[in-house]
Amino acid sequence: MESDGQLDLVPAVREWSDAIGAEHVVCEATVLAQWQTATYETSQRVLALIRPSSVEQIAACIQIANRHKTPVYPVSRGRNWGLGSRVPVSDAVVVDLARLDRILAMDERFGCITLEPGVTFEQVHAYLSERSSQWFLPVIGGPADASVIGNCIERGDGIGPQCERLSNMCSLEVVLPDGSIVHTGFERFGETPLSTLSSMPAGAYLDGLFTQSNLGVLTRATLWLARRPQHLQLVNAHIPESGLAAFVDSLQRLIHDLGNSACTFSLWNGHKLNARRDSAAREHSPDTWYSNGCLYAPSVFMAKAQRELTLHALEETSTLLEVFDESSVPNLRERLGIFLGVPNNDNVRSFYTEKHSPVPDGDLDPDRDRCGAMWLCPEIPFDGVTVANVLGSCEKILRSSGYDPVIGMSALTPRTLRVFISIFYDRNEPGEDDRAMRCNDQLLEALFAAGMFPFRLGVHSMHTANQAAGTCWDLIRQIKDSLDPNHILAPGRYCRMDQ
């Protein structure tokens, strides 16, 4: 078995088969073709697929790859739709981590849960619900079967309090490119009750090195959960035309006053809401901006104060402002499950917005169904004028390229907004992949020129991660060269291929 006569996989495949079982080493062309399909055109090949079931098997597989200088690319669940799905950045053997799907520990007093990378958001929700836990894990917009740790590794965010992943995780277990196993945090000292409670022992802080990098394979992590609130309030706001800047400034001050742990807010334009292709979403005006959020309070007194702060902060910059609680909407918690850790697939429907056929009733798979989608994820200052100017520039580029400006924003802190720009199309239409990529590149160029850089990248744009020269990039390269001298682990992930 060769790749253009350059890479003989047969010896490695034999050793992987011995290490994890031949049934867990896949070389069938039809299966590999599915794994190298994304929501936009890719040319990278999945050379083989290996499916270990333990950290020891992963370490053995990485050691085998090193001996044979075979590139490997770890994937948790492969639901990274719009950013590359499960396709590697360059030709590689994919290490599918889905069989590592255990919830290893749960601390009900402190709200700590320890997971493997195959554990999904719906799995965690079911686990906590079965135990009537006082805690919940903030979820993503979808899909429900996405990997929790995969989302953490990409520094994704969630919906709810404590939703900034890297700030709410600790005690990582990592397989390094030479197959050795490292434990970060307090666990570096051995067994201690502190290992799941803090990420900051004396000495170097290592956790960030293993997110959005190709320095190790994350096989276990502890996450800190959010406590279920005694009082929950829903905030809906419609933003007047040309009033986005003023509303953003009002919202920034409100979040600063409320605190990150007491609220969650997002902003979406009507194009984004309508893209979900459900009857309720179609009622939104495409070019109007909307905001919704939740207020979380441990007492009725704090809930009342939150409501008053919210009304005072936002009423002058909103054309419609509504704050609902459980007295006005008796089934509010059931209706707002996504704000309380209940995952759903509603936002996955948006991938089908440009398809000419109905959204499938059952299993949604944008890769299989040839949905065209690219996401851009810039982070921008939480400043009204800056937001209006940057998004205005992006909207012009999208419209000139023939796309609706499907845009949303999440407010994790009062300092910056995380922006999600979507390019949706139908991959069955000739030439659409090329047109979408040209638009993507134009948007990136405009954002970089404005000093706005991504907090997350797709496999199609990871080469832009370190485009600058300087000592910082030199240090990253030195760390990579030291840990992975054969450059076998995820080559090209968040770096240029020539580095």
Nearest-10 Cα torsion for 111, 114, 118, 122: -20
Residue 207 makes CB contacts below 8 A (sequence gap 6+) with 166, 169, 170, 172, 184, 185, 199
Indicate the pLDDT class of residue 382, thresholds 50, 70 and 90.
very high
Asked if 456 and 377 count as a contact pair (C-beta separation under 8 A), the reply is: yes
pLDDT at 126 over 60: yes
Asked if 211 and 150 count as a contact pair (C-beta separation under 8 A), the reply is: no
Q: What is the DSSP letter of 322?
A: E
Q: Which two tokens stand for residue 383?
A: 């400043």
Tell me the per-residue pLDDT of 168-182, one tens digit each, with 9 for 90 and over: 999 999 999 999 999
d(CA 262, CA 194): 26
Under CATH, which number does the domain 231-457 receive? Answer: 3.40.462.10
Indicate the pLDDT class of residue 4, thresholds 50, 70 and 90.
very low
At 357 the pLDDT is 86
Asked if 407 and 390 count as a contact pair (C-beta separation under 8 A), the reply is: no
In 3D space, the residue among 10, 91, 21, 80 whose CA is nearest the CA of residue 50 turns out to be: 21
pLDDT at 355 over 60: yes
Indicate the pLDDT class of residue 241, thresholds 50, 70 and 90.
confident
Asked if 120 and 143 count as a contact pair (C-beta separation under 8 A), the reply is: no
Tell me the per-residue pLDDT of 431-444, one tens digit each, with 9 for 90 and over: 999 999 999 999 99
Tell me the per-residue pLDDT of 447-467, one tens digit each, with 9 for 90 and over: 999 999 999 999 999 888 766
Residue 87 makes CB contacts below 8 A (sequence gap 6+) with 35, 36, 37, 38, 42, 44, 46, 459
Under CATH, which number does the domain 2-96 receive? Answer: 3.30.43.10
pTM: 0.94
As assigned by CATH, the class of the 103-227 domain is alpha beta
Asked if 110 and 133 count as a contact pair (C-beta separation under 8 A), the reply is: no
Average pLDDT over residues 207-219: 96
Q: What is the DSSP string of 159-188?
A: BSTT-BGGGGEEEEEEE-TTS-EEE-GGGG
- The angle at the Cα of 8, spanning 7 to 13, to the nearest 5 degrees, equals 120
Taking the CA atoms of 172, 178, 179 and 181 in sequence, report the sign of the dihedral they define. negative
Asked if 387 and 421 count as a contact pair (C-beta separation under 8 A), the reply is: no
d(CA 350, CA 497): 32
- Domain range list for the chain: 2-96, 103-227, 231-457
At 282 the pLDDT is 52
pLDDT at 157 over 70: yes
Directed axis angle between helix 384-400 and helix 244-258, to 10°? 130
At 341 the pLDDT is 96
d(CA 377, CA 83): 10
At 8 the pLDDT is 86
Biggest CA–CA distance in the chain, Å, is 71
Average pLDDT over residues 75-97: 97
At 499 the pLDDT is 52
Alpha helices, DSSP H only, in 284-346?
300-314, 332-335
Average pLDDT over residues 266-285: 77
Tell me the per-residue pLDDT of 293-351, one tens digit each, with 9 for 90 and over: 999 999 999 999 999 999 999 999 999 999 999 888 989 999 889 999 999 998 899 99
d(CA 281, CA 274): 5
φ, ψ dihedrals at 193, nearest 5°: -65, -15
Average pLDDT, the chain: 93
φ, ψ dihedrals at 416, nearest 5°: -140, 160
At 278 the pLDDT is 55
d(CA 444, CA 455): 12
